Amino acid sequence: MIIIPEQEVVRLVGRKDAFDAVENVFASMASREACNFPVIREALGHADALYGFKSGFDRKSLALGLKSGGYWPGNAANGLTNHQSTVFLFDADTGRVKAIVGGNYLTAMRTAAASAVSIAYLARKDARVLGIIGAGHQSAFQLRAAAEQRDFEKIVGWNRNPAHLDRLAAAAGEMGLAFEAVDLETLGALSDVIITITSSFAPILKATQLRPGTHLACMGTDTKGKQEVDTALVARAHVFTDELAQAVSIGECQHAVAAGELVEEDITELGAVINGTAEGRRSEDDITLFDGTGVGLQDLAVASRVLEKAQDAKTAIEVAF
């Protein structure tokens, strides 16, 4: 059994690793070679914690396992991350545990990779302005991964509390890009690509604020009730997702579907675009929307890549088990 602690994952997993792993597993999901199992998510009634598992199997790569994850709101006060994730990989040929991989940084990287893959496949090639809505911990990861997908010249950002936009300004600076804090009207008017990465329970961005040709990646909505954009925007867009079942139940699509403004049949899995079995962007004026809900197979794919790299670098801790 191989153990790869969090700090080693941080050292090993790069944006390209995460991008390639997520791109491949989205493709496997769409060709039905990979399957996510039902998600377990429970309120513990202890420490205000939410806890659960996302699991799955990719018959193509043989990635098998689960990510245990949870949210412990009291952790920060004790110097720990509130979100705690660990990935467990199993040998698909024998069922034995193969590796335990720290999952906190990995989760941030795989979530950023998902919107990056959506931009690579769906955004206009001439996109120059990237808009980011939300400025929490995850936002900088989304920005960095997205910025590599097109020749962006500028980043614009909006956050409910503008003070936190410093985080985006710093990440943009790292990438050698100008940053400007703007209002939502301006963000919609300027951006060729927009990423929403908030914990909002009410629409922030509206259809009227967007211009034709924009690609939007909605990455914050992963629970019943959460919402980042109005249903008119979803109804107007050409909609893609990582996993259809999650999009309509816990993703951004849940509201437009419930309102009868979007039908499941009009939602395309991004993996099908990657595989060339479904059409992506149809025209320069198409508004494309990627509903990124987050699936366990993304975690397993990136963790498998980390494991390979740790074995190549001979930095893995091996324990007889």
CA distance 44 to 181: 39
Residue 55 engages a copy of itself in binding (rule: CB under 8 A): yes
Residue 173 falls in which region: left (phi positive, over 0), alpha (psi -120 to 50) or beta: alpha
CB of 300 to a copy of itself, least distance (A): 13
CA distance 315 to 305: 14
Residue among 47 and 258 whose Cβ is closer to a copy of itself: 47
- Among residues 54, 67, 226, 309, the one annotated as catalytic is 67
CB of 293 to a copy of itself, least distance (A): 18
Give the C-alpha distances (Å, rounded to integers) separating 102 from 34, 59, 187.
Answer: 22, 23, 36
Tokens 């070679």 sit on residue: 33
Total residues contacting a copy of itself by CB under 8 A comes to 47
CB of 206 to a copy of itself, least distance (A): 36
Q: Which of 26, 27, 29, 88 binds a copy of itself (CB under 8 A)?
A: 88
CB of 274 to a copy of itself, least distance (A): 22
Q: What share of the chain is helix, strand, coil (3-state, %, to 5)?
A: 40, 25, 35
Q: Which residues in 8-47 contact a copy of itself (CB under 8 A)?
A: 35, 37-38, 40, 42, 44-47
CB-based burial label for 166 (10 Å; 0-12, 13-18, 19+): middle
Report the candidate in 281, 292, 302, 320 with the shortest Cα–Cα distance to residue 150: 281
Q: Which residues in 237-276 contact a copy of itself (CB under 8 A)?
A: none
Helix (H, G, I), strand (E, B) or coil at 281: coil
Residue among 16 and 60 whose Cβ is closer to a copy of itself: 60
CA distance 250 to 303: 24
Gyration radius from the chain CA atoms: 19
CA distance 232 to 80: 40
Residue among 88 and 152 whose Cβ is closer to a copy of itself: 88
Give the C-alpha distances (Å, rounded to integers) separating 79 from 47, 74, 75, 175, 234.
Answer: 15, 9, 6, 29, 39
| Candidates 92-100, 184-192, 242-250, 299-307; binding stretch for a copy of itself (CB under 8 A) | 92-100
Cα first-last separation, the chain:
6
| Chain-centre distance for alpha carbon 129 | 20
Residue among 54 and 238 whose Cβ is closer to a copy of itself: 54
CB of 41 to a copy of itself, least distance (A): 9
Please give the backbone phi and psi of residue 148, each rounded to the nearest 5 degrees, phi first.
-80, -10
Q: Which of 12, 21, 29, 53 binds a copy of itself (CB under 8 A)?
A: 53
Token pair in block for residue 71:
């949210």
Examine the residue annotation and report whether 309 is marked as an active-site residue of this protein. Answer: no
Q: Are 217 and 267 in contact (CB under 8 A)?
A: no
Here's the x/- map for a copy of itself, 99-138, by CB under 8 A: it reads as -x-x------------------------------------
Residue among 32 and 125 whose Cβ is closer to a copy of itself: 32
Residue among 280 and 294 whose Cβ is closer to a copy of itself: 294
Residue among 78 and 161 whose Cβ is closer to a copy of itself: 78
Residue 1 engages a copy of itself in binding (rule: CB under 8 A): yes
Residue 3 engages a copy of itself in binding (rule: CB under 8 A): yes
Token pair in block for residue 157:
């950002």
- Residues annotated as catalytic are 67
Residues that bind a copy of itself (CB under 8 A): 1, 3, 5-6, 35, 37-38, 40, 42, 44-47, 49, 51-53, 55, 57, 59, 62, 64, 66, 68, 70-72, 74-75, 78, 80, 84, 86, 88, 90, 92-97, 100, 102, 317, 319-321
